[in-house]
Amino acid sequence: MHQLESDFLAEHRVQLFLKRDDLIHPEVSGNKWRKLELNITKAQEFDLPILTFGGAYSNHIAATAAACHHRGIACIGMIRGEEHDGLNPTLSLASKLGMQLHFISREEYGYKAEEAYIRQLKDNLGAFHLVPEGGANFLGVMGCTSIIKELPKPFDILCVAGGTGTTAAGMLLGLKANQRLELYPALKGGEFLQKSIAQLLEYSLFEEMAVNETLENLIIVSDYHFGGYAKINAELVDFTQHFFNEYSVPLDLIYTSKMMFGLFDRISKGLYNKGTSIIAVHTGGLQGNEGFKSRKGITLNF
């Protein structure tokens, strides 16, 4: 973790630190490893492959393939959408690392959380340890509690980007009463994550009152999705490049860039008290930038 310093931050008298979880591993970086570690350990205990779900450009799919490869465990990826000639960079990497890819229709993908569908997959593919899309299960939440434990200094506000709310749920479990977590959804209409996080917290807290008290520390900042998941524009691309030029930190366009754009915008509007200490978590996912390069020709110079 290191402090970001610039004239902009000095002017607004905000202390901003970046927790560089993107540096955990070159292929399984950030919250991806935290959500997978305990799941992989459990799968190994029962000598089972892992099965998970994701889109064609999913950071989660790439990270799962890499983590399973390094831990010597088989894995299966259920990929949303039809198979095309030639795999994109994400799926090519996953396949190279040993993930068995199965392409399913968007309609079938919608059943991914249904018990009957999971039983059908086990009948067809054999026994497996299920890791939901984005690692959104109890073990994923528990893995993310370590983020708080690793913070070396006190803080007022913690910021993280999110898609399923799993990372945020784990982080909320470690917050003190006077601290708050700002969650920046990468999806349009991200307010729904409040309910998703509540459901994930129930795995650990059991009582509705305890869940509600924990959620009091959560603020969902839903104004910086740029049109939805994996939606970007020239302004976000320019910000991402400028951020690297200023702070020497690469961001991914799907998650962390949207979070940092939103955070800097809120700082510029004076929404934080002078002297506020903020820690933003870089959750990795830089391989997602390759998808924009292959699909839209967007190249970032870092």
- Residues 6 or more apart whose CB falls under 8 angstroms from that of 227 comprise 188, 233
pLDDT in tens, 192-210: 999 999 999 998 898 999 9
Cα–Cα distance, 115 to 105 (Å, whole number): 18
CATH of domain 2-25+138-296: 3.40.50.1100
pLDDT in tens, 138-174: 999 999 999 999 998 889 999 999 999 999 999 999 9
pLDDT in tens, 102-112: 999 999 999 99
Instruction: Look at residue 293 in the predicted model and tell me its pLDDT.
Output: 84
Which ranges in the chain belong to alpha helices (H)? 7-12, 31-45, 59-71, 89-96, 106-109, 115-125, 138-144, 146-149, 166-172, 193-205, 208-215, 234-247, 256-268, 288-296
CA dihedral (122, 126, 127, 130) in degrees, to 10, reads: -50
Let me know: does 236 contact 258? Beta carbons within 8 Å.
yes
Architecture of the domain whose range is 31-135:
3-Layer(aba) Sandwich (3.40)
> What pTM, to 2 d.p., does this model score?
0.93
Q: Name the band, by pLDDT with cuts 50, 70 and 90, for residue 25.
A: confident
Concatenate the DSSP letters of all residues of 225-267 into one string.
-TTSTT---HHHHHHHHHHHHHH-----TTTHHHHHHHHHHHH
With a pLDDT cut of 90, the percent of the chain lying above it is: 84
pLDDT in tens, 204-246: 898 999 999 999 999 999 999 999 999 999 999 999 999 999 9
- The domain segmentation of the chain, as residue ranges, is 2-25+138-296, 31-135
Instruction: Look at residue 30 in the predicted model and tell me its pLDDT.
Output: 83
